[in-house]
Structure 1
Amino acid sequence: MTAHTETTKTLKRDKAMTRTIEDVNPGELIIAANVRTETKVGADFVANIRLNGVILPILAERTAEGLLEVIDGQRRTIAAVEAGLTSVPVFVVGDSGDNAARLLTQVTVNDQREGLDEAEHVAAFQQLSLFGVSAADIARKTGTKTTRVQKALDVAANPAAAAVFADHVLTLDQVAALVDFSDDPDAVKTLTKAAAKEPARFDHLVADLHLKRELAAHIEQLRTELVAEGVTILTESLNHYSGTAEGDPAVTRLDRLALPETPTIPLTHDNIPTAHLAGRITGNYSHPTSGYGKWAEIYYFILTEHAHHYTPLEYARPTTERTPEQQTDHDNRIAAQLAEQTHRAALAAAETVRVDWLNTFFQRAKRPAPWEFIARSLTYSGELSNGEEFPPTLLPWIGVHVVVEPASNEHFEAAQLARGHLSENPKTSERLILALVIYNNETNVASSWHQNIRQAAAYLTQLVTWGYGLSEVEQGIVDAAKAEQVSA
């Protein structure tokens, strides 16, 4: 082991540690803990090292015993040994005496080069945690967000998630989502498959599985309540009036019966013996926070064998049997209602995922140019044009010189022309947006009954800066807005 006579540089970092470049026999180097999960070297790599030698120095630290432990360059070291080299350049630093420090250096060096993959980051963070380094310190020393470090540690601590990470190419965020479902092999299989084949649907599947898990827990909670009440439990159903399932006892609806002393008031489950009651849990995927429908519920019935204790409700609707055609219509209506509920629930779940994605989108340092999208959206919304899609009078403003005849659909036709013009001339997006904004301001100025005077004044003032001269009445609007602002 010899130090370079021409290239040796001793860099004083502090009194206890120096750095040197030395020629070292690769067989004398010790390969210690490594953040790389894959350190195998191929024949081509060995042949390259045999032909060209090790060009980039291996990074190693000298231990208290005088040995050299490789921090970065494990593959180069192995290849040099296999290639039969007797000397390789090694950048040597003093002993830190700290396994955690060595791992942190490896993470930093690899990230500065080609970067560790996410599985390797998880393994490295787990090792650092086992060495006693906190998530906050790992984050600070590796330039990683603390939340991401903690997510990696959560994945590493979960055997099912860690196994998926080892066997499949998933992102850390995807594997972290599996942690919540590690006790459900079917869910893990579904999500793993989606991550590989339909990654765009992954977050939606996670949200749906969470929703179904919440519903199952709510249903179980209601079932526990029924057991505690001593109520006969009927087969679960999506629809509370879906008939009697096979094996269930015969039941009668509460709203068809009344107490003899109050024949005009329908029964409620809280004023009759629980031994007379049956309960059916209904569950659909309409979450209570979505603003419609209900979560799982208990619907109570009278066991028909006890119905003789009660009297038919007076003024109740006829209870005649439905004809087959009426029953079919009824079943179709119920099916349509359930389909609509399911559709709305799916929309609500998708909205949650979409809003989360948008929150991330708006945190990007650089986003795609939005002007064509904004312009096209404004031709649909009518927000700036009195609820109409696109005013025909604006077509010349954006360079479309086509006469649209007055008709009930003139705004629709004008909007189609505007969108077609945008597709062919996307650089006119700013012009279209400006035209709609000016139209909105013009509408406001022209409205003597509902004029927003501050908006009108700001608009007219802007026109002045562009070279327009105000009339007396327009100047009066600007002056009035100033006076209103002063008095406020």
Structure 2
Amino acid sequence: MSDTITPQPEASAAGVRLQFVDAREVMIDQNVRTNTKITKPFVNSIKRHGVIVPVLAHPAEDGRVYVEDGQRRILAAIDAERYEVPAFVIPEGDTETARIVRQLIANEHRAELDEVERVAAWKQLELDGMNVVAIARSVGETPKRVKAGIAVADNKTAAKEVAKYEVTFDQALAIAEFEDDPKAAERLRQTARSNPAQFEHTAQRLRDQRTDRQVVEELIATYTERGYQRIDWPRYDDKDTLPFSALTHADGTDLGVGYVGGNGYRYAVRDAWNGFEVGHFVTEWKKSGLKKRKANGTPNLPWTDEQKAERRTLIANNKAWESAEKVRREWLVTFLSRKRAPKDALTFIADAVIENRGSLSGALSERHRFAAELLGLSKPEWGEQNPLAAHIASHPARTATVLLAVAIAACEAATSKQTWRYPTGDAVAYFTALREWGYALSDVENIVLGIAPDADEQAEPTPQDDAADDAESAGEGGEGAPEPAEPEDANTDAEDAGGTEDEDEDDAESGIEASAPDAEECEVTVA
């Protein structure tokens, strides 16, 4: 059998007739297309306009026709209930091979309109007087897509994006917004390719960043015109250049926008993780008579008499605590050397274990080294028997005393100069037990139990004390007085002593709102 296709006689123009056929009555010939792909927009188009392009058919013996090319149009016409279909009917005379070849050629070489051609056609319809809704109905598209397509047709940059990168109309329009920003445009193209669901979010962030940048550029232009000096954003450890937020006037009032352009004023701009920031700073602020705020952010003002008295009490009680601690620990050594433990020892031990009083868990990790010290035993060493256990083994009658030493050592180790200032429930229970066991609490230790010392026992300030307080309050180092003792700010021995001139530095990198120098220009705010 030969594979050669025998050419068939061409039908003369007189042999081909154009007629309308009923889509319900025609017979569809065998076709190389098995997936007809009848889409809703296609059916809607035929419902509105009917079948425009005639199908190709051959006459059948019973008066009906066989459709060789156009089965999608026939099936869609039936769905759309537009049964009258134009058809070119040509005389039968082909072989099956010729039919297949024609069907392949007809389907293979059809090319759809590309998006640029499509939007150009929509634009022409608009120019001819059709509105977006009418165009959408006519071509079976949504009004939103048609509107975006016409906008693309009006924008050469967007049209190029559609043609070159195969992005959607909306994406092309967004990319066109950044025609003058190649990096932003490329970022949007990458998002459209790799993560289209995030495209709108990325585009909006880029718009916001551009807006911030424009605000900053306008601000820089204004400040440059007014002669303000721009600097690099100061380092966090720069003590000579501080932000407005870290400084006050000598009377403790905020610098505020009114200080823009004042002595030592500088501004800086940076591109931070959350957008552009404009910071207002003062360089060599001490020379301008400004004050640095305290570590807690409050103004650094001269001390009142009450604050001076509070500080003297703080220092005196801290010193008294150091002395009392030595006396108390010597008493504990004597107390634990007794032959018998006090009657309520087991209760104290049980509370300490159950409530984990003091630093009992920490003492365990150190093998109860402090307890061994209070009992006069050798220091515990890893890999060897604990001296406490060895002492119990050789002196079984002292088991309760050893356990009491463990509980006492845990409570004692948790005490410090902070204890009289901020007594905890554990500290109250511990000092109450000591008093009941016969220990004479000093005045500062009584404070733990809520017993204040007699007023007449408080030391009167000397002229030297007053002079020292005044010097510190005046801030001879240039930064003003160290902060008076306050519960929330006192956590170290250095703070107990009243702090130093170089207290915790304020973070020079804190975000500052960018404000123009005049009240009417204070709308400028950059993240």
Bin the TM-score by the shorter chain.
Answer: 0.3 to 0.5
Determine which structure has greater relative contact order: mean sequence separation of CA pairs < 8 Å that are 6+ residues apart, divided by chain length: 2
Q: TM-score, normalised to structure 1's length?
A: 0.36
Q: TM-score, normalised to structure 2's length?
A: 0.33
Higher Rg? 2
